[in-house]
Structure 1
């Protein structure tokens, strides 16, 4: 009986694993790229720590800026203004003005991350240039969240550790600019931007126009402000593209009455 049952029963169907979604990335690849950005940019905290003590801040005041503010460019703008002799109020206002861009980043990331309310305060602390760049190049929500938090947490930890080290060893380090740490951030952005430049003419035009605006503004405005001026490239390219599409749109077919009126 058992032999007859074995011969008559069809074999159980095997379930194959579903194919990966198009454009999906493995968690390992996302974490690898995120940690690369965190380490590359995080080591520049040494330069900030040294700059903070050079601006006559204490070690603990310098570290508090990295722990509580954590905006990179705004921190450098603040200590740079203090080192140049600006009053603290003016230095803080300039840093806040430069940090406004993070609010716009948050608006864009909120749509992509879709985080629960309990995680939003933590995420708000991590909204900076690097986390935004890494998150927005990810193809799916899971990889977006993973890239955002892996970049943000690793960068936060390394930045604060190197800030402390730079503030303690400022005298031994000398001029931090000689180490070339200031190029770490731009180098990372070039690496993140390169895939986007292959997507279409609008992306290339925005990048080139933004670079021209930033380079033209460098000798004219304080440090950090050229980045904000470069943002003007976005509405400029959008306006030009809209006008081009409008001019290339086919003219409406005139009605028979209009054609008869023209013949008269």
Structure 2
């Protein structure tokens, strides 16, 4: 096993622990919203994107159908287009091999693998995703199994874990002088839009602002 892959696995463990709590709250909410335990676990295994999964649940919980739920999830995951474009030149191999490696791109792994010069360590990217994927699925399993015991997620403060997780990622970018302006501008815009915009729109708008700020 390559040293970069092992290092990625070590770096991914703390994020996996947080992801476990996030996905546990997702499992509880999914069952309460009407999904079967199997559907909830399958969604976590196939999507593996907390923001998209919670956005889809919010639409379903509000009475929306499959199409608007998928649209909301797609809006949330649109940021991966820009992230994929950024990481693509650093992925070796033929198109299919690179596409498979690209499936390991999640927010923390993308940030951890960033070398700071426009390149990414693809082995560290994949390594850091391994424990996070395991933690996400296992957390969902626990959530759907003990959802009746936990009751509402806000009882244990699980509803606060997800925004806190992304706030930590944002603070990491704020500390870097090269990305501080973009991070602050994007974060403030998302904060202003969350109460009034549909799910997915705040993060898209924030991403556009951040890209413009970085370009300038």
Give your verdict on TM over 0.5: yes
Work out whether 1:145 is the aligned partner of 2:122: yes
State the Cα RMSD in Å.
2.7
Q: In the TM superposition, what is the alpha-carbon distance from 1:211 to its structure 2 partner?
A: 1.5
Q: Shift in Å at residue 184 of structure 1?
A: 4.8
- Check if 1:120 corresponds to 2:98: yes
How do residues 101-250 of structure 1 correspond to structure 2 at under 5 angstroms? 101-117=79-95, 119-137=97-115, 144-177=121-154, 178-179=157-158, 180-190=160-170, 192-195=172-175, 197-198=176-177, 200=178, 203-237=179-213, 241=216
Stretch deviating more after TM superposition (69-78 or 170-179): 170-179
Q: Which protein has the bigger helix share?
A: 2
CA separation in 1, counterparts of 2:170 and 2:162? 14
Report if aligned partners of 1:74, 1:98 keep a CA contact under 8 Å in 2. yes
* Residues 1:194 and 1:181: Cα distance change in structure 2 (over 3 Å): same
TM-score with structure 2 length normalisation?
0.84
List runs of 5+ in structure 2 lacking aligned partners: none
How many residue pairs are counted as aligned between the two chains? 211
Q: Which residue of 2 aligns with 1:248?
A: none
Measure how far apart 1:226 and its partner are: 1.5
Per the normalisation by structure 1, the TM-score is 0.70
In 1, the alpha carbon distance for the partners of 2:167 and 2:82 equals: 23
Cα separation, partners in 2 of 1:31 and 1:95, compared to 1, 3 Å:
closer
Higher relative contact order, chain-length normalized (CA < 8 Å, sep 6+): 2
Shift of 1:74: 0.7
Q: 1:33 maps to which residue?
A: 11
C-alpha displacement of 1:84? 0.8
2:74 maps to 1:86: no
Distance 1:113 1:80 in 2: 35
Q: Which has the larger radius of gyration?
A: 1
- In the TM superposition, what is the alpha-carbon distance from 1:32 to its structure 2 partner? 2.6
How far the C-alpha of 1:234 sits from its partner, in A, is 2.7
